[in-house]
Amino acid sequence: MNTAQRLIAVEKELRQAQLALTQALEATAALQQENQDLKILVAELQSMLFKRKKSKKDDADPDSGSSAEQWLEEEPSGQQRTRPTHSYQRSVPPDSEVTAHERHTLDRCAACDGALEELDACTIYIEDIPQYTKTVTKKTIHRYACCDCGKQQTKIPIPPGQRVRLGPGVKQYVLYHTYVLNTSYRDITRSLNDCHRIKISAGEIQHIQQESAKKLLSAYNGIHQELKKQESVNIDETSWSVKGALNYLWGLCSPTTSAALFHAGSRGKGNVASLLDGFSGCATSDCYGAYRNLPEGMDHQICWVHILRNAKELAGMPYLSDEQRQSAIGFYRALLGIYGHIKQALNKPYHPQERSAARGRLLKELQGANQLLPCDTPKKLKNLKLLTQQYQHELFTCLSYKTALPENNLAERNLRHVVLKRKRSFGSQTEKGARIFAVNASVILTFWKRFPNTFFLELGKALGY
């Protein structure tokens, strides 16, 4: 082999070595990026599993030490607020609530039996509850037969079934403790027995719930129609076990009414179509895929808080390089600033032209902030920016409405009550039980919020008592 052939062979080997080196470097970079993504994921899981109590430091800018609220509006730090003196005292009940009036007077001096001269009088109020006693009403229903036509009749209907029945007060007690106080079956039976000497079984509690769901179904449908007439609604979902299998409970509410609706079903998009069928307005939700293709005639608003929460967690995540951390912090600050401008625009009186101009201006600001940079290699940071690009128009839909909200906190608070119930009861044993829970919880919780002073009266009317 001459010199030229050896040179060609060496050059070929060199090219192969360079290609192998390039492939090895690319593989190393991919492994390093995968390792970084896994470390970020582990840190995220650790924060979820071992989360500590939230402090004021958690609301601070990851890079500056100033609070998130201070970024939106700088306010001078004032002195700590003090509670007024009257806040430590119970309010005086009105005369209409006074059930008895006792007068405590003296005729003679207790020390020397001398005459007394009245100086003044002090009036106090004792708020108490009566002794826990049950009432038993024995009803004898006489049955008659007409002497002419032979028709049998009674003054009131004779109910079928067992002779000893539970009254309306016990049934409302069970419903209140089940759906408002989230009390378990065991605690309901204990409370009724200890306080009222009434024994009740789990089967009777289930029968009360099933009976009330039938009676409250028309009110449930009325709540659904009321929500669909609103300009804007908030919708969210949470897991709900049925027979130990994973199922879901959907929640629908609105910032313009106290009504709350729950719907038991799967997590498929068909539930969204069923809940929002006939609604024409703005629906606020998170970024779950079932909300992506809403029925025609309505607009979609994406929750800003979900995106801000992810951006904030990412900005404070370890295992990021300095360049990546600065990119994440800058992205979070830009999002927080845009969100603050949205809130300021919504707090002003509604003017379509001003809102439209603000929407265009903020959209351009978002488009400048969510561009991918060469250092945005962590999967979570890249996906978050791509998410804001995908929903860039849905993030500003609320500016076109008078009552729409830019966040979905209302729906999450609406579901919070049933989430606590789920942690106590672990869901329902049957699909029918899940539907019964949805109907009863919707009507009873709506009445509880809507009629705080006459709750039991209004619930009794709806139940036909």
Residue 343 has which token pair? 């809130």
Q: How far apart (Å, rounded) are the C-alpha atoms in residues 265 and 272?
A: 10
Percentage of the chain lying above the pLDDT 70 cut: 90
Mean pLDDT of the chain: 85
- Residue 205's nearest CA partner among 216, 194, 218, 192 is 192
Does residue 75 surpass a pLDDT of 60?
no
CB atoms within 10 A of CB 10: 10
Does residue 325 surpass a pLDDT of 50?
yes
Q: Which residue has the tokens 């009254």?
A: 167
Average pLDDT of span 2-24: 80
Over residues 198-212, the pLDDT tens digits come to 899 999 999 999 999
pLDDT at 53 (0 to 100): 56
User: Which stretches of 56-215 are assigned E, i.e. beta strand?
Assistant: 143-145, 152-154
The SS3 call for residue 235 is: strand
Average pLDDT of span 282-294: 87
Nearest 5°: the CA angle 333, 334, 336 is 65
Q: How far is CA 68 from the centre of its chain?
A: 23
pLDDT at 86 (0 to 100): 61
Q: Are 319 and 375 in contact (CB under 8 A)?
A: no
Residue 87 has which token pair? 């806040």
Q: How far apart (Å, rounded) are the C-alpha atoms in residues 303 and 412?
A: 11
Q: State the pLDDT confidence band at 27, using cuts at 50, 70 and 90.
A: confident
> Which has the higher per-residue pLDDT, 109 or 65?
109
For 71, phi then psi, to 5°, come to: -65, -35
Does residue 68 surpass a pLDDT of 50?
no
Which helix (H) or strand (E) covers residue 283, if one does? Answer: strand 282-285
Domain boundaries, the chain: 164-277+424-465, 304-407
For 44, phi then psi, to 5°, come to: -65, -40
> Which has the higher per-residue pLDDT, 333 or 3?
333
CA distances (Å), origin 159, targets 9, 103, 166, 208, 244: 104, 49, 12, 16, 37
Over residues 158-200, the pLDDT tens digits come to 777 777 788 899 999 999 999 999 999 999 999 999 888 889 9
Q: Are 8 and 2 in contact (CB under 8 A)?
A: no
Which helix (H) or strand (E) covers residue 382, if one does? Answer: helix 379-390
pLDDT at 446 (0 to 100): 96
Does residue 226 surpass a pLDDT of 80?
yes
Over residues 138-152, the pLDDT tens digits come to 888 888 888 888 888
pLDDT at 435 (0 to 100): 94
Count of residues in the chain: 465
Q: How far apart (Å, rounded) are the C-alpha atoms in residues 439 and 211?
A: 11
CA 415, 445, 251, 336 dihedral sign is negative
Q: State the pLDDT confidence band at 71, using cuts at 50, 70 and 90.
A: very low
Does residue 72 surpass a pLDDT of 80?
no
pLDDT at 59 (0 to 100): 53
The SS3 call for residue 290 is: helix
pLDDT at 74 (0 to 100): 43
Does residue 38 surpass a pLDDT of 50?
yes
CA distances (Å), origin 388, targets 190, 263, 369: 52, 29, 10
Q: How far apart (Å, rounded) are the C-alpha atoms in residues 168 and 135?
A: 12
Q: Are 250 and 271 in contact (CB under 8 A)?
A: yes
* Distance in angstroms between the alpha carbons of the first and the last residue of the chain: 109
Q: Which of 88-92, 122-126, 159-163 has the highest mean pLDDT?
A: 122-126
Q: How far is CA 393 from the centre of its chain?
A: 25
- Residue 370's nearest CA partner among 341, 407, 337, 330 is 330
Over residues 405-443, the pLDDT tens digits come to 999 999 999 999 999 988 888 888 889 999 999 999 999
Report the predicted TM-score, pTM, of the whole model to 2 decimal places: 0.76
Q: Are 335 and 368 in contact (CB under 8 A)?
A: no
Does residue 462 surpass a pLDDT of 80?
yes
Over residues 237-276, the pLDDT tens digits come to 999 988 888 888 999 999 999 999 999 888 777 888 888 9
**Torsion (CA) 399, 402, 403, 408 in degrees, nearest 10:** 0
In eight-state DSSP terms, residue 108 is B
pLDDT at 52 (0 to 100): 57
Over residues 337-389, the pLDDT tens digits come to 999 999 999 999 999 999 999 999 999 999 999 898 888 777 888 889 999 99
- Residue 338's nearest CA partner among 256, 407, 410, 236 is 407
In eight-state DSSP terms, residue 284 is E
> Which has the higher per-residue pLDDT, 129 or 411?
411
pLDDT at 427 (0 to 100): 86
